[in-house]
Amino acid sequence: MGTVSFTGVGSGIDWNLIIQAEIAARTSRVITPLENWKDSWETKIATFDELRTYLTDLRDSVEAMDTAEELRSYQAQSSSTSTVEAAVSGNATPGTYSLEINQLANAELEIHSGLDAADAVVNDSGGDLVFAYSYAGESVSVDVADGTTLQELAALVNNDSDNPGVTASVLDDGSGGATSHHLVLRGNDTGATYTIAIDGATTLTGFGDTDFTEVQAAQNAQVRLNGYPAAGWLERESNVVADLITGVTLTLQATTSGSPVTVAVNTDSEGVKAKIQALVESYNALKTWLNVKTSYNTETEQGGELLGNYAANLVESMLREVIISEAPGFLDGTDAYTHLGQVGLETLGRTDDDTALGTIELDEDELDAALAEDFEAVIRLFADSFRGYSDSDYLTFHQASGLLTTPGIYDVEADFDGGGNLTAGRFKLTTESTFRSATVDSPYIVGTEGNPEYSLYVKAVWDGGSTTQTATVRVTQGIAGRLGDVLDQILDSSEGMLHNLDESYRDIVAQLDDRIEQEQDRLELLRERLVAKYARLEEMIVTLQAQQDWASQLAASLTQQS
């Protein structure tokens, strides 16, 4: 905003001060409230950005355990780690395994008969010669120029772009003799396939097949698992074996010499607990932060940035509902555990510390007991992912869509004609009173679009006599998966609640910016009008003062004449 100021020279009045006061009053009355309002919306934007960070951290914890494969933990132990090391590398099967190791896998090692020094010349023929070899059946030729030394020959092999997997080096055996320095060829791969052979195409004198000694043969590892095969050995090219015991990687270190090694694979309760604890910590960090941001301090009479905010309250409510409710599709009396409280996770009610309200308190002893009692039931409670169960042998769960089907407990009906042909089907949630028609895609009843059962397939088989058969079908989802779905609804970058809220808030800020700019333009026009107004007033005052001065002078003159 430009400024023009003036002081009444004739009147002695500081018009600029008056104009500034009027502009300041207008600013305080109109623009300052708008700027304060804008600041409050920008604070909300920043606060919701912080909320997004807490929610993202929670989602990361959830995604580490929202499938049974991710949550289920195992540990593998070897009775002799100096002989074989065992590590869980996937979804293992608990059990005890006996392992015999007859031989380890080796890479081939060939050593040349030797020269007297590393810089001894290997080609003094006056022209180029060839050193040729094969590795795993692939033949390679290396051109060796006149004057090439033993060390340079090793470098030629290593730097050859056609090298199929052989490393060359020079070994000093320390003897100091005429054959103390040897070219060493080592295969980079273990296994019987990866043999090294000096090729007959070699023209480099003194480097033919008979000039090398095989000091270590390429060979496979030979093992026997649980006594199988009784008359032979299972062979693997590598000493790192991942396909003998499901989900376990074995690193073979030595032979067993007739004394088998025991590898035990067990469920790892501590590993499961660690993931559950990470979930609890992330949830509690979020809930504590929300408690602070939505609270009112009676001492300072100040509310948190999100006090009374509908979106914040909705986020809190959506997450709390998942935490305190039964897992979708789970049935008390059928499933060992149906809600978090049964495995040691309880939400706190009123406490001395209001910031802890609604956080989860983990009873590790109770969780340990639940894992010990039924390890797989705990896994299902957290990580079941659209598995299905039916109480009927004739109407059975076939499949459901993790994207389209709502997990829950459904009543199902199927109609058959006299010939046993499926003619109609119906679904409803057990909490509903009215059935909905389903699509018949014999032998399946399929939930239709727009309904909770959308893309739920139930296989219907005639029982031989009924015209209508019924069943209760459950589609289950663990707490972690359900929590993940809710977090996705909130955090989705294109359609999520926070995205829509952020766009709305930013639109409000932009509108306030426009309004403030408009008011500033109006203030500039007001200032210009005030300058013109007081300029005219100054001119009027000066004129009146001049008239007053003239009148005074006239009166004085008349007095003197009389």
301 contacts: CB under 8 Å, gap ≥ 6: none
Q: Quick one: which of 424, 396, 420 has its CA closest to 410?
A: 396
Q: Using 50, 70 and 90 to split pLDDT, how confident is the model at 1?
A: very low
**Domain 109-216 sits in CATH 2.60.40:** yes
Q: DSSP assignment, residue 431?
A: T
Q: How many CB atoms lie within 10 A of CB 308?
A: 10
What is the per-residue pLDDT for 9? 52
Please determine, for residue 336, whether its predicted confidence score (pLDDT) is greater than 60.
Answer: yes
For the stretch 519-541, pLDDT in tens is 888 888 888 888 888 878 877 87
Q: Quick one: which of 117, 89, 239 has its CA closest to 178?
A: 117
> What's 106-140 look like in SS3?
ECCEEEECCECCCCCECCCCCCCEEEEEEECCEEE
- Give the mean pLDDT of the chain: 92
For the stretch 156-214, pLDDT in tens is 999 999 999 999 999 999 999 999 999 999 999 999 999 999 999 999 999 999 999 99
Would you call 159 helix, strand, or coil by DSSP? helix
CB 67 within 8 Å of CB 538: no
User: Would the pTM count as exceeding 0.85?
Assistant: no
CA separation for the pair 329, 341 (Å, rounded): 17
CA separation for the pair 20, 27 (Å, rounded): 10
Would you call 265 helix, strand, or coil by DSSP? strand
Q: Quick one: which of 517, 497, 499, 520 has its CA closest to 509?
A: 517
Q: How many CB atoms lie within 10 A of CB 400?
A: 27
For the stretch 384-435, pLDDT in tens is 999 999 999 999 999 999 999 999 999 999 999 999 999 999 999 999 999 9
CA separation for the pair 84, 317 (Å, rounded): 52
Burial of 472 (0-12, 13-18, 19+ CB in 10 A): middle
CA separation for the pair 185, 140 (Å, rounded): 13
Cα-based angle 390, 394, 399 (whole degrees, multiple of 5): 50
